[in-house]
Structure 1
Amino acid sequence: MGHWWERNILEPGKLPLLLALTAFVVTFLVTRVITRLIRAGKGPFGNVKAGGLHIHHVVPGVVLTIVGGFGAVASDRHGAGGAVAAVLFGMGAGLVLDEFALILHLDDVYWSEEGRKSVEAVVLTAALVGLLLAGFSPFGVNDLSAAELQDRGTVIANIGVNFLFSLIALGKGKARLAILGVIVPLIAFVGAVRLARPGSLWARRFYGRRPRARAKAALRAYRHDRRWARPRRRLQDWIGGKPDSGSVRLSGRR
Protein backbone atom coordinates (compact mmCIF):
# COMPACT_ATOMS: atom_id res chain seq x y z
CA MET A 1 0.00 0.00 0.00
CA GLY A 2 2.85 2.37 0.90
CA HIS A 3 4.53 1.73 -2.46
CA TRP A 4 1.28 2.40 -4.35
CA TRP A 5 0.73 5.60 -2.36
CA GLU A 6 4.23 6.81 -3.13
CA ARG A 7 4.12 5.95 -6.83
CA ASN A 8 0.61 7.09 -7.69
CA ILE A 9 -0.21 9.88 -5.22
CA LEU A 10 2.94 11.51 -3.85
CA GLU A 11 5.33 11.33 -6.82
CA PRO A 12 2.83 12.61 -9.44
CA GLY A 13 1.85 15.39 -7.02
CA LYS A 14 -1.75 14.23 -6.58
CA LEU A 15 -1.94 14.77 -2.83
CA PRO A 16 -3.37 18.32 -3.19
CA LEU A 17 -6.02 16.93 -5.55
CA LEU A 18 -6.95 14.26 -3.01
CA LEU A 19 -7.15 16.84 -0.23
CA ALA A 20 -9.24 19.17 -2.38
CA LEU A 21 -11.68 16.40 -3.31
CA THR A 22 -12.01 15.28 0.31
CA ALA A 23 -12.60 18.85 1.49
CA PHE A 24 -15.09 19.38 -1.35
CA VAL A 25 -17.22 16.32 -0.48
CA VAL A 26 -17.06 16.82 3.30
CA THR A 27 -17.96 20.51 3.01
CA PHE A 28 -20.95 19.74 0.81
CA LEU A 29 -22.23 17.02 3.15
CA VAL A 30 -21.78 19.15 6.28
CA THR A 31 -23.45 22.11 4.58
CA ARG A 32 -26.44 20.00 3.54
CA VAL A 33 -26.82 18.63 7.08
CA ILE A 34 -26.74 22.16 8.54
CA THR A 35 -29.21 23.62 6.03
CA ARG A 36 -31.61 20.71 6.58
CA LEU A 37 -31.42 21.30 10.34
CA ILE A 38 -32.12 25.00 9.79
CA ARG A 39 -35.05 24.11 7.58
CA ALA A 40 -36.45 21.76 10.25
CA GLY A 41 -35.89 24.32 13.02
CA LYS A 42 -33.51 22.04 14.92
CA GLY A 43 -30.06 22.55 16.39
CA PRO A 44 -28.16 25.73 17.21
CA PHE A 45 -27.79 26.82 13.59
CA GLY A 46 -29.47 29.70 11.82
CA ASN A 47 -29.27 31.86 8.72
CA VAL A 48 -26.39 34.31 8.58
CA LYS A 49 -27.57 37.90 8.22
CA ALA A 50 -25.87 41.29 8.10
CA GLY A 51 -28.03 44.37 8.39
CA GLY A 52 -31.11 42.36 7.44
CA LEU A 53 -29.39 40.92 4.36
CA HIS A 54 -29.30 37.11 4.12
CA ILE A 55 -25.72 36.04 3.41
CA HIS A 56 -25.79 32.87 1.33
CA HIS A 57 -22.96 30.43 1.87
CA VAL A 58 -21.94 30.87 -1.76
CA VAL A 59 -20.36 34.17 -0.62
CA PRO A 60 -17.75 32.67 1.74
CA GLY A 61 -17.44 29.88 -0.83
CA VAL A 62 -16.29 32.35 -3.47
CA VAL A 63 -13.80 33.89 -1.04
CA LEU A 64 -12.33 30.50 -0.10
CA THR A 65 -12.15 29.45 -3.76
CA ILE A 66 -10.24 32.61 -4.69
CA VAL A 67 -7.85 32.32 -1.75
CA GLY A 68 -7.28 28.62 -2.33
CA GLY A 69 -6.90 28.99 -6.09
CA PHE A 70 -4.35 31.77 -5.97
CA GLY A 71 -2.62 30.06 -3.06
CA ALA A 72 -2.29 26.87 -5.10
CA VAL A 73 -0.81 28.77 -8.03
CA ALA A 74 1.69 30.54 -5.82
CA SER A 75 2.78 27.52 -3.76
CA ASP A 76 4.65 24.28 -4.36
CA ARG A 77 2.22 21.41 -4.91
CA HIS A 78 4.52 19.10 -2.94
CA GLY A 79 4.75 21.45 0.08
CA ALA A 80 2.50 22.26 3.03
CA GLY A 81 1.33 25.49 1.38
CA GLY A 82 -0.07 23.58 -1.58
CA ALA A 83 -1.92 21.21 0.76
CA VAL A 84 -3.51 24.07 2.70
CA ALA A 85 -4.47 25.88 -0.51
CA ALA A 86 -6.02 22.67 -1.87
CA VAL A 87 -8.17 22.24 1.25
CA LEU A 88 -9.34 25.85 1.09
CA PHE A 89 -10.14 25.53 -2.60
CA GLY A 90 -12.09 22.30 -2.02
CA MET A 91 -14.08 23.86 0.80
CA GLY A 92 -14.89 26.92 -1.30
CA ALA A 93 -15.90 24.85 -4.31
CA GLY A 94 -18.18 22.74 -2.11
CA LEU A 95 -19.95 25.83 -0.79
CA VAL A 96 -20.24 27.41 -4.25
CA LEU A 97 -21.59 24.34 -6.04
CA ASP A 98 -24.02 23.65 -3.21
CA GLU A 99 -25.73 26.82 -4.42
CA PHE A 100 -25.06 26.26 -8.11
CA ALA A 101 -28.79 26.52 -8.86
CA LEU A 102 -28.94 29.93 -7.17
CA ILE A 103 -26.13 31.19 -9.41
CA LEU A 104 -27.76 29.66 -12.49
CA HIS A 105 -31.23 31.12 -11.86
CA LEU A 106 -30.13 34.26 -9.95
CA ASP A 107 -32.82 33.42 -7.41
CA ASP A 108 -33.06 31.56 -4.10
CA VAL A 109 -34.20 28.19 -5.42
CA TYR A 110 -32.39 26.09 -2.80
CA TRP A 111 -35.45 24.08 -1.72
CA SER A 112 -37.30 24.15 -5.04
CA GLU A 113 -37.24 21.79 -7.99
CA GLU A 114 -34.57 23.91 -9.68
CA GLY A 115 -32.41 23.41 -6.60
CA ARG A 116 -31.82 19.80 -7.61
CA LYS A 117 -29.32 21.09 -10.17
CA SER A 118 -26.96 21.89 -7.31
CA VAL A 119 -26.92 18.26 -6.20
CA GLU A 120 -26.33 17.08 -9.76
CA ALA A 121 -23.47 19.56 -10.19
CA VAL A 122 -21.80 18.40 -6.98
CA VAL A 123 -22.14 14.69 -7.78
CA LEU A 124 -20.81 15.09 -11.32
CA THR A 125 -17.93 17.29 -10.20
CA ALA A 126 -16.91 14.80 -7.51
CA ALA A 127 -17.07 11.98 -10.06
CA LEU A 128 -14.86 13.80 -12.56
CA VAL A 129 -12.29 14.81 -9.95
CA GLY A 130 -12.31 11.24 -8.66
CA LEU A 131 -11.49 10.10 -12.19
CA LEU A 132 -8.51 12.45 -12.35
CA LEU A 133 -7.35 11.22 -8.98
CA ALA A 134 -7.68 7.52 -9.79
CA GLY A 135 -6.20 7.74 -13.29
CA PHE A 136 -2.67 6.58 -13.96
CA SER A 137 -0.23 9.29 -14.98
CA PRO A 138 2.99 8.46 -16.83
CA PHE A 139 4.39 11.87 -15.90
CA GLY A 140 5.94 12.89 -12.60
CA VAL A 141 6.75 9.30 -11.57
CA ASN A 142 10.42 8.44 -11.41
CA ASP A 143 12.14 5.33 -12.81
CA LEU A 144 9.20 3.74 -14.59
CA SER A 145 9.99 0.43 -16.20
CA ALA A 146 9.11 -0.31 -19.82
CA ALA A 147 6.25 -2.52 -18.67
CA GLU A 148 4.88 0.24 -16.41
CA LEU A 149 5.07 2.78 -19.22
CA GLN A 150 3.26 0.40 -21.54
CA ASP A 151 0.56 -0.28 -18.96
CA ARG A 152 0.01 3.40 -18.32
CA GLY A 153 0.00 4.13 -22.06
CA THR A 154 -2.66 1.47 -22.56
CA VAL A 155 -4.78 3.00 -19.82
CA ILE A 156 -4.48 6.46 -21.37
CA ALA A 157 -5.43 5.09 -24.81
CA ASN A 158 -8.49 3.39 -23.34
CA ILE A 159 -9.47 6.61 -21.62
CA GLY A 160 -9.15 8.43 -24.95
CA VAL A 161 -11.46 5.96 -26.72
CA ASN A 162 -13.89 6.11 -23.84
CA PHE A 163 -13.82 9.90 -23.97
CA LEU A 164 -14.80 9.71 -27.65
CA PHE A 165 -17.80 7.57 -26.72
CA SER A 166 -18.70 10.11 -24.04
CA LEU A 167 -18.60 12.93 -26.60
CA ILE A 168 -20.98 10.98 -28.85
CA ALA A 169 -23.30 10.36 -25.91
CA LEU A 170 -23.19 14.07 -25.09
CA GLY A 171 -24.07 14.91 -28.69
CA LYS A 172 -27.04 12.56 -28.38
CA GLY A 173 -28.37 14.60 -25.48
CA LYS A 174 -27.34 12.18 -22.72
CA ALA A 175 -25.30 14.45 -20.48
CA ARG A 176 -25.43 12.27 -17.37
CA LEU A 177 -24.38 9.15 -19.26
CA ALA A 178 -21.61 11.10 -20.99
CA ILE A 179 -20.12 12.36 -17.73
CA LEU A 180 -20.55 9.13 -15.78
CA GLY A 181 -19.25 7.26 -18.82
CA VAL A 182 -15.90 8.97 -18.41
CA ILE A 183 -15.58 6.89 -15.25
CA VAL A 184 -17.35 3.68 -16.31
CA PRO A 185 -16.55 2.78 -19.95
CA LEU A 186 -19.64 0.62 -20.44
CA ILE A 187 -21.93 3.55 -19.63
CA ALA A 188 -20.30 5.73 -22.30
CA PHE A 189 -20.55 2.94 -24.87
CA VAL A 190 -24.26 2.40 -24.12
CA GLY A 191 -24.94 6.13 -24.39
CA ALA A 192 -23.08 6.30 -27.69
CA VAL A 193 -24.79 3.38 -29.47
CA ARG A 194 -28.38 3.96 -28.39
CA LEU A 195 -30.81 6.34 -30.04
CA ALA A 196 -30.36 10.06 -29.46
CA ARG A 197 -32.81 12.04 -27.38
CA PRO A 198 -35.27 14.25 -29.31
CA GLY A 199 -33.98 17.77 -29.77
CA SER A 200 -30.33 16.80 -29.29
CA LEU A 201 -27.60 17.87 -31.71
CA TRP A 202 -27.33 14.30 -33.04
CA ALA A 203 -31.10 14.03 -33.59
CA ARG A 204 -31.26 17.34 -35.46
CA ARG A 205 -28.34 16.36 -37.65
CA PHE A 206 -29.15 12.73 -38.45
CA TYR A 207 -32.89 12.28 -37.78
CA GLY A 208 -34.14 15.32 -39.70
CA ARG A 209 -35.27 13.28 -42.72
CA ARG A 210 -36.02 10.07 -40.83
CA PRO A 211 -39.49 10.35 -39.27
CA ARG A 212 -39.45 6.74 -38.05
CA ALA A 213 -36.17 7.35 -36.21
CA ARG A 214 -37.55 10.53 -34.65
CA ALA A 215 -40.68 8.73 -33.48
CA LYS A 216 -38.69 5.81 -32.09
CA ALA A 217 -36.32 8.17 -30.28
CA ALA A 218 -39.23 10.08 -28.74
CA LEU A 219 -40.87 6.86 -27.55
CA ARG A 220 -37.62 5.56 -26.07
CA ALA A 221 -36.99 8.87 -24.27
CA TYR A 222 -40.54 8.83 -22.84
CA ARG A 223 -40.19 5.29 -21.53
CA HIS A 224 -36.75 6.00 -20.10
CA ASP A 225 -37.87 9.13 -18.26
CA ARG A 226 -40.96 7.38 -16.95
CA ARG A 227 -38.89 4.47 -15.62
CA TRP A 228 -36.00 6.36 -14.05
CA ALA A 229 -37.48 9.71 -12.98
CA ARG A 230 -38.74 8.46 -9.62
CA PRO A 231 -35.56 6.59 -8.54
CA ARG A 232 -33.45 9.58 -9.57
CA ARG A 233 -35.65 11.93 -7.55
CA ARG A 234 -35.42 9.69 -4.50
CA LEU A 235 -31.63 9.65 -4.70
CA GLN A 236 -31.50 13.44 -5.05
CA ASP A 237 -33.90 13.85 -2.11
CA TRP A 238 -31.75 11.54 0.01
CA ILE A 239 -28.59 13.50 -0.77
CA GLY A 240 -29.82 17.08 -0.83
CA GLY A 241 -33.21 17.07 0.87
CA LYS A 242 -36.72 17.01 -0.53
CA PRO A 243 -37.91 20.20 -2.28
CA ASP A 244 -40.89 22.12 -0.94
CA SER A 245 -44.07 20.59 -2.33
CA GLY A 246 -46.24 22.64 -4.64
CA SER A 247 -43.66 25.34 -5.20
CA VAL A 248 -41.11 26.03 -7.87
CA ARG A 249 -39.29 28.96 -6.33
CA LEU A 250 -39.41 30.12 -2.75
CA SER A 251 -37.34 33.26 -2.32
CA GLY A 252 -35.67 33.87 1.01
CA ARG A 253 -36.13 30.31 2.31
CA ARG A 254 -33.43 28.05 3.75
Structure 2
Amino acid sequence: MLGAFLVTFILTRVVTRLIRAGRGPFGNAKIGNVHVHHDVYGIFLMMCAGAGEFVYRPPPPWLQVLAVAFACGAALTLDELALWLYVKDVYWAREGRTSVDAVLVAACVGGLLLLGANPLSDEAETDPSVWAATTTIVGNLAFSFVALMKGKISTGLIGIVVPLIALVGAIRVAKPHSPWARKWYHAGSSRLSRSRERFPADERTWWESVKDKIGGFTQT
Protein backbone atom coordinates (compact mmCIF):
# COMPACT_ATOMS: atom_id res chain seq x y z
CA MET A 1 0.00 0.00 0.00
CA LEU A 2 2.79 2.42 0.88
CA GLY A 3 4.59 1.75 -2.39
CA ALA A 4 1.43 2.14 -4.45
CA PHE A 5 0.59 5.35 -2.57
CA LEU A 6 3.98 6.95 -3.26
CA VAL A 7 4.17 5.84 -6.90
CA THR A 8 0.66 7.17 -7.59
CA PHE A 9 1.45 10.52 -5.99
CA ILE A 10 4.68 10.90 -7.99
CA LEU A 11 3.00 9.93 -11.28
CA THR A 12 0.09 12.28 -10.55
CA ARG A 13 2.41 15.23 -10.00
CA VAL A 14 4.34 14.40 -13.17
CA VAL A 15 1.15 14.19 -15.25
CA THR A 16 -0.33 17.40 -13.82
CA ARG A 17 2.90 19.27 -14.56
CA LEU A 18 2.87 17.98 -18.13
CA ILE A 19 -0.74 19.09 -18.53
CA ARG A 20 0.10 22.51 -17.14
CA ALA A 21 3.06 22.84 -19.52
CA GLY A 22 0.98 21.65 -22.47
CA ARG A 23 3.28 18.74 -23.15
CA GLY A 24 2.55 15.09 -23.82
CA PRO A 25 -0.74 13.36 -24.63
CA PHE A 26 -2.43 14.30 -21.35
CA GLY A 27 -5.19 16.80 -20.75
CA ASN A 28 -7.74 17.87 -18.17
CA ALA A 29 -10.78 15.61 -17.88
CA LYS A 30 -14.06 17.43 -18.48
CA ILE A 31 -17.75 16.62 -18.51
CA GLY A 32 -19.27 19.43 -20.51
CA ASN A 33 -17.75 22.57 -19.02
CA VAL A 34 -17.02 20.94 -15.67
CA HIS A 35 -13.41 20.12 -14.84
CA VAL A 36 -13.31 16.70 -13.19
CA HIS A 37 -10.50 16.77 -10.62
CA HIS A 38 -8.50 13.62 -10.01
CA ASP A 39 -9.64 13.41 -6.40
CA VAL A 40 -13.03 12.32 -7.82
CA TYR A 41 -11.38 9.24 -9.31
CA GLY A 42 -9.58 8.67 -6.02
CA ILE A 43 -12.78 8.76 -3.98
CA PHE A 44 -14.54 6.26 -6.23
CA LEU A 45 -11.46 4.02 -6.30
CA MET A 46 -11.34 3.92 -2.49
CA MET A 47 -15.08 3.26 -2.29
CA CYS A 48 -14.88 0.37 -4.76
CA ALA A 49 -11.79 -1.14 -3.13
CA GLY A 50 -13.28 -0.84 0.35
CA ALA A 51 -16.61 -2.32 -0.70
CA GLY A 52 -14.86 -5.17 -2.53
CA GLU A 53 -12.82 -6.06 0.54
CA PHE A 54 -15.73 -5.85 2.98
CA VAL A 55 -18.20 -7.76 0.80
CA TYR A 56 -16.04 -10.48 -0.74
CA ARG A 57 -13.09 -10.85 1.68
CA PRO A 58 -11.00 -12.13 -1.22
CA PRO A 59 -7.94 -14.35 -0.72
CA PRO A 60 -4.50 -13.43 -2.09
CA PRO A 61 -3.64 -12.13 -4.58
CA TRP A 62 -6.96 -10.26 -4.89
CA LEU A 63 -6.62 -8.92 -1.37
CA GLN A 64 -3.35 -7.27 -2.39
CA VAL A 65 -4.97 -5.93 -5.57
CA LEU A 66 -7.68 -4.22 -3.51
CA ALA A 67 -5.06 -2.86 -1.12
CA VAL A 68 -3.12 -1.34 -4.01
CA ALA A 69 -6.33 0.11 -5.48
CA PHE A 70 -7.24 1.67 -2.14
CA ALA A 71 -3.76 3.19 -1.75
CA CYS A 72 -3.86 4.62 -5.28
CA GLY A 73 -7.24 6.17 -4.54
CA ALA A 74 -5.94 7.66 -1.30
CA ALA A 75 -3.01 9.26 -3.10
CA LEU A 76 -5.26 10.77 -5.78
CA THR A 77 -7.61 12.10 -3.12
CA LEU A 78 -5.04 13.53 -0.72
CA ASP A 79 -3.16 15.16 -3.58
CA GLU A 80 -6.10 17.56 -3.81
CA LEU A 81 -6.77 17.95 -0.08
CA ALA A 82 -6.41 21.73 -0.44
CA LEU A 83 -9.42 21.67 -2.78
CA TRP A 84 -11.53 20.23 0.05
CA LEU A 85 -10.34 22.81 2.58
CA TYR A 86 -10.54 25.97 0.47
CA VAL A 87 -13.45 24.84 -1.73
CA LYS A 88 -11.67 26.24 -4.79
CA ASP A 89 -8.92 25.16 -7.16
CA VAL A 90 -5.68 26.14 -5.39
CA TYR A 91 -3.63 23.24 -6.76
CA TRP A 92 -0.83 25.50 -8.02
CA ALA A 93 -1.22 28.21 -5.39
CA ARG A 94 0.60 28.47 -2.07
CA GLU A 95 -2.44 27.06 -0.33
CA GLY A 96 -1.96 23.92 -2.39
CA ARG A 97 1.02 23.02 -0.25
CA THR A 98 -1.53 21.67 2.23
CA SER A 99 -2.00 18.73 -0.13
CA VAL A 100 1.74 18.00 -0.13
CA ASP A 101 1.74 18.12 3.68
CA ALA A 102 -1.16 15.65 3.77
CA VAL A 103 0.56 13.22 1.39
CA LEU A 104 3.82 13.33 3.34
CA VAL A 105 2.01 12.81 6.65
CA ALA A 106 0.19 9.79 5.21
CA ALA A 107 3.46 8.40 3.86
CA CYS A 108 5.16 8.81 7.25
CA VAL A 109 2.26 7.10 9.00
CA GLY A 110 2.47 4.26 6.46
CA GLY A 111 6.18 3.90 7.18
CA LEU A 112 5.46 3.90 10.90
CA LEU A 113 2.93 1.10 10.47
CA LEU A 114 5.58 -0.92 8.64
CA LEU A 115 8.09 -0.42 11.45
CA GLY A 116 5.81 -0.41 14.49
CA ALA A 117 3.99 -3.05 16.52
CA ASN A 118 0.43 -4.09 15.75
CA PRO A 119 -1.68 -3.60 18.91
CA LEU A 120 -4.56 -5.59 17.36
CA SER A 121 -2.59 -8.79 16.83
CA ASP A 122 -3.13 -11.90 18.96
CA GLU A 123 0.33 -11.51 20.49
CA ALA A 124 -0.58 -8.02 21.72
CA GLU A 125 -2.97 -9.53 24.28
CA THR A 126 -0.23 -11.39 26.14
CA ASP A 127 3.13 -9.91 25.09
CA PRO A 128 4.16 -6.99 27.36
CA SER A 129 6.82 -5.87 24.87
CA VAL A 130 4.12 -5.22 22.27
CA TRP A 131 2.22 -2.99 24.66
CA ALA A 132 5.44 -1.19 25.62
CA ALA A 133 6.21 -0.55 21.96
CA THR A 134 2.64 0.58 21.32
CA THR A 135 2.75 2.98 24.27
CA THR A 136 6.02 4.43 22.97
CA ILE A 137 4.56 4.87 19.49
CA VAL A 138 1.42 6.57 20.80
CA GLY A 139 3.48 8.91 22.98
CA ASN A 140 5.73 9.81 20.08
CA LEU A 141 2.71 10.50 17.87
CA ALA A 142 1.42 12.84 20.57
CA PHE A 143 4.71 14.79 20.50
CA SER A 144 4.57 14.88 16.70
CA PHE A 145 1.00 16.18 16.83
CA VAL A 146 2.03 19.00 19.18
CA ALA A 147 4.93 19.89 16.88
CA LEU A 148 2.55 20.02 13.90
CA MET A 149 0.11 22.19 15.89
CA LYS A 150 3.01 24.53 16.59
CA GLY A 151 3.46 24.97 12.85
CA LYS A 152 6.61 22.87 12.58
CA ILE A 153 5.62 20.64 9.71
CA SER A 154 9.06 19.20 8.94
CA THR A 155 9.83 18.54 12.62
CA GLY A 156 6.46 16.90 13.16
CA LEU A 157 6.75 14.68 10.09
CA ILE A 158 10.32 13.57 10.73
CA GLY A 159 9.49 13.17 14.40
CA ILE A 160 6.96 10.47 13.57
CA VAL A 161 9.84 8.08 12.95
CA VAL A 162 12.57 9.85 14.99
CA PRO A 163 11.20 10.32 18.54
CA LEU A 164 13.84 12.79 19.78
CA ILE A 165 13.05 15.26 16.99
CA ALA A 166 9.33 15.12 17.83
CA LEU A 167 10.09 15.81 21.50
CA VAL A 168 12.29 18.81 20.66
CA GLY A 169 9.66 20.21 18.31
CA ALA A 170 6.94 19.82 20.93
CA ILE A 171 8.95 21.63 23.62
CA ARG A 172 10.28 24.59 21.64
CA VAL A 173 8.35 27.79 20.90
CA ALA A 174 5.54 27.67 18.34
CA LYS A 175 5.37 29.66 15.11
CA PRO A 176 3.32 32.87 15.56
CA HIS A 177 0.55 31.97 13.10
CA SER A 178 0.23 28.32 14.11
CA PRO A 179 -2.93 26.91 15.74
CA TRP A 180 -0.98 26.46 18.98
CA ALA A 181 0.09 30.14 19.08
CA ARG A 182 -3.42 31.37 18.26
CA LYS A 183 -4.76 29.34 21.17
CA TRP A 184 -2.10 29.86 23.84
CA TYR A 185 0.03 32.90 22.90
CA HIS A 186 -2.04 35.92 23.86
CA ALA A 187 -1.48 39.37 22.34
CA GLY A 188 1.33 41.21 24.07
CA SER A 189 2.63 38.10 25.85
CA SER A 190 6.34 37.32 26.10
CA ARG A 191 5.78 33.97 24.40
CA LEU A 192 4.26 35.64 21.35
CA SER A 193 7.15 38.11 21.23
CA ARG A 194 9.70 35.28 21.40
CA SER A 195 7.78 33.42 18.69
CA ARG A 196 7.83 36.40 16.32
CA GLU A 197 11.52 36.97 17.01
CA ARG A 198 12.32 33.32 16.37
CA PHE A 199 10.18 33.08 13.21
CA PRO A 200 10.19 36.39 11.25
CA ALA A 201 7.27 36.87 8.85
CA ASP A 202 9.50 37.11 5.76
CA GLU A 203 11.58 34.02 6.57
CA ARG A 204 11.28 31.00 4.30
CA THR A 205 12.36 27.61 5.60
CA TRP A 206 14.06 24.84 3.65
CA TRP A 207 10.92 22.74 4.11
CA GLU A 208 8.77 25.29 2.29
CA SER A 209 11.28 25.30 -0.57
CA VAL A 210 11.11 21.49 -0.73
CA LYS A 211 7.30 21.59 -0.91
CA ASP A 212 7.46 24.23 -3.63
CA LYS A 213 9.68 21.96 -5.71
CA ILE A 214 7.51 18.89 -5.10
CA GLY A 215 4.28 20.67 -5.85
CA GLY A 216 5.55 23.00 -8.57
CA PHE A 217 4.08 26.08 -6.93
CA THR A 218 4.85 29.42 -8.58
CA GLN A 219 2.09 31.76 -7.48
CA THR A 220 2.76 34.20 -4.63
- For Structure 1 versus Structure 2, the TM-score category normalised by the shorter chain is 0.7 to 0.9
> Cα–Cα, structure 1 residues 111 and 168, in superposed 2: closer, same or farther, change >3 Å?
closer
Identity of aligned residues (%): 43
Q: Which residue of 1 is the match for residue 117 of structure 2?
A: 136
Matched, 1:74 2:55: yes
**Distance across 1 between alignment mates of 2:33 and 2:185:** 54
Sort the Cα spacing of 1:133 and 1:78 in 2 relative to 1 into closer, same or farther, 3 A.
Answer: farther
Question: Aligned-pair distance for 1:90?
Answer: 1.0
Cα separation, 1, equivalents of 2:177 and 2:19: 40
- Give the drift of 1:97: 1.2
Task: Supply the distance in 1 between the matched residues of 2:199 and 2:55 (Cα, whole angstroms).
Answer: 48
Using the size of structure 2 for normalisation, the TM-score is 0.82
1:233 aligns with 2:211: no
Written as runs of structure 1 = structure 2, the 5 A alignment for 1:72-111 is: 72-76=53-57, 79-111=60-92
Q: In the alignment, is the contact (CA less than 8 A) between 2:154 and 2:207 conserved in 1?
A: no
Matched, 1:187 2:168: no
Q: Can you list the C-alpha shifts for 1:56-84, whole angstroms capped at 9, x where unaligned?
A: 21221111011112223234376333222
The whole-number CA distance in structure 1 between the counterparts of 2:145 and 2:205 is: 27
Which residue, out of 26, 41, 52, partners 2:22? Answer: 41
State the Cα deviation string for residues 198-237 of structure 1 (Å, max 9, x = none): 36565567655983333222212328x72xx252233123
Give me the whole-angstrom Cα distance separating, in 1, the residues matched to 2:150 and 2:24. Answer: 46
Check whether the contact 1:69–1:89 (CA below 8 A) recurs between aligned residues: yes
Q: Aligned in 2, Cα 1:62/1:161: closer, same or farther, shift over 3 Å?
A: closer
Larger radius of gyration: 1
Secondary structure in structure 2 of the residue aligned to 1:196: coil
Amino acid at match of 1:221: F
The equivalent residue for 1:5 is none
What TM-score, normalized to structure 1? 0.72
Are the equivalent residues in 1 in contact too, given 2:38–2:76 (CA < 8 A)? yes
Q: Could you list the per-position Cα deviations for residues 160-179 of structure 1 after superposition, in whole angstroms to 9, with x for gaps in the alignment?
A: 33234334435545455334
Change (3 A) 1:151 1:59: same
Q: Separation in 2 of the partners of 1:78 and 1:134?
A: 24
Q: Distance in 1 between matches of 2:186 and 2:177?
A: 10
Q: CA RMSD of the aligned region, Å?
A: 3.0
- Report the Cα offset of residue 44 of structure 1: 1.2
The whole-number CA distance in structure 2 between the counterparts of 1:42 and 1:168 is 42
Higher relative contact order (CA 8 A, sep 6+): 1
* Runs (5+) with no aligned partner, structure 1: 1-19, 247-254
* Count of aligned positions: 219
**Structure 1 residues 86 and 114: alpha-carbon distance in aligned structure 2, compared to 1, 3 A threshold:** same
Q: Which amino acid aligns with 2:147?
A: A
Distance in 2 (alpha carbons) for counterparts of 1:75 and 1:206:
49
CA gap of 1:56–1:171, structure 2 versus 1, over 3 A, is closer
Closer, same or farther: CA 175–242 of 1 in aligned 2, 3 Å: closer
1:8 is aligned to none
Q: Return closer, same or farther for 1:167/1:237 CA change in 2, 3 Å cut-off.
A: closer
